[in-house]
Amino acid sequence: MYKSIRIARIVISLIAMGVPAWALVVGYDSVFVRMQILTALLTGVALCLLFWAIVTLLYGRIYCSTVCPLGTLMDCVSTTSRLVRRRHRSYRYTPPARRTRIVFLLLTFVTLLSGSALIPTLLDPYSAYARMVEELLAKPFGHASGAVRFSAASFSVAVLTAVTVVAVAWKNGRTLCNTVCPVGTVLGYGARRSYFHIEIDPDRCIGCGECERVCKAGCIKLPEKIVDTSRCVVCFDCTSACQNSAINYKSGRYRLGMPMMQSLETPSTASLDAPVNHSQSTSEK
C-alpha cells in the first residue's frame, strides 16, 4: 500500500514542479502559484493559509513533499546522488537545528513587518524556484527577451541559489528544508502535533536501519525508535523501505505489546539500589 502511495505522491510532486516551470517559460499564470504559502501571505489570501494550516495539523508536512517545487527538485537531486554514489548513499539521523531555524524564521517575519520582501523572497522555497526558472530558462529560452530584461544581480542570485540547493541536496537531502526554509519551520510546528504521522512499532521493528538510511530529512532516530515529525516531510520513503511493516503512517502512538515487562524491571532495579541486610542473609544461610 505504501509503495502505491509513494508513487502517487511522486507523480503529484513532479506535476507540481513541472507545471509552474512550464507556465513561467511560456508566460502563463499557474494555479500552483496561488497555492504557495508566502504568495498567500503577501496577497492576504487567508483561505489558502487556513487550508494549509488544517492540512498540516491533520496530515503533517504534505505541502513540503507534494506541492513545494523546490522540495521536489531537492528530492530529484538526492535520488540521483543515491544512484550515483552507491557506496555512500545512506542518510543518518541529525539533531534538529532549532536555533538556526528560529533565527531564519525571525529574520523573515521581521523583514516582512518592516515592509521589505527581499529576505522572505530569498528564503521562500517557491520564490527561489521561480527565480531560478525565470533567470535560467524563461529569459534565455522563453517568452521574455533576455537582451532587454537581463539583470546581472538577479542572474547571480539565481545561479547561487541553484548551486547551493544542488550541492546541499546532493550530500544531505532535505537539510535546507529543515534549517533555512521559513515555510518548513512554520509547518514543522503544526506537524509536531499532526493527527496522522509516521510512527515506528517497537514490537515489529528489528533495528535493520533501512528506514533511517532512506530518510532524506534525517529525522528518524532508530535506537530510540523516534521520528521527529516536525522535520518529517511525509515522503513515505521509510514506510516503503521497511520489510517488516514496522513503520507506518497512522494516528496515535504505538504501545509495547508486553507492558508487563516494564513493571518487572522496576522491582529488580529497586533491589539493586536497596541496601543489603547482611545479618538476615547470614541467618538464612
Q: Specify the pLDDT at position 169.
A: 95
For 148, 196, 212, the CA distances from 60, given in Å and listed in that order, are 44, 7, 19
Q: What is the DSSP string of 107-152?
A: HHHHHHHTT--HHHHHH-HHHHHHHHHIIIIIHHHSSS-HHHH--H
Q: Specify the pLDDT at position 246.
A: 93
The crossing angle, in degrees rounded to 10, of helices 2-26 and 125-133 is: 50
Residues 142-149, mean pLDDT to the nearest whole number? 52
- The residue that leads in pLDDT, 202 or 285, is 202
The crossing angle, in degrees rounded to 10, of helices 152-172 and 69-84 is: 50
> What residue has cell string 542572474?
155
Residues 196-202, mean pLDDT to the nearest whole number? 94
Q: Specify the pLDDT at position 71.
A: 95
Residues 252-258, mean pLDDT to the nearest whole number? 70
Residues 54-75, mean pLDDT to the nearest whole number? 95
Whether residue 263 is predicted with pLDDT greater than 70 in this model: the reply is no
Closest by CA to 107, choosing from 27, 175, 181, is: 181
Per-residue pLDDT band for 282 (boundaries 50, 70, 90) equals very low
> What residue has cell string 522491582?
267
Per-residue pLDDT band for 68 (boundaries 50, 70, 90) equals very high
- From 77-86, 119-128, 162-171, the region with the lowest mean pLDDT: 77-86
- From 89-98, 164-173, 229-238, the region with the lowest mean pLDDT: 89-98
* Spatial separation of the C-alpha atoms in residues 217 and 15, rounded to whole Å: 22
Q: Residue 33, SS3?
A: helix
Q: Residue 280 phi/psi, 5° resolution?
A: -65, -45
Closest by CA to 226, choosing from 218, 214, 237, is: 218
For 92, 141, 212, 244, the CA distances from 215, given in Å and listed in that order, are 8, 36, 5, 17
Q: Specify the pLDDT at position 87.
A: 56
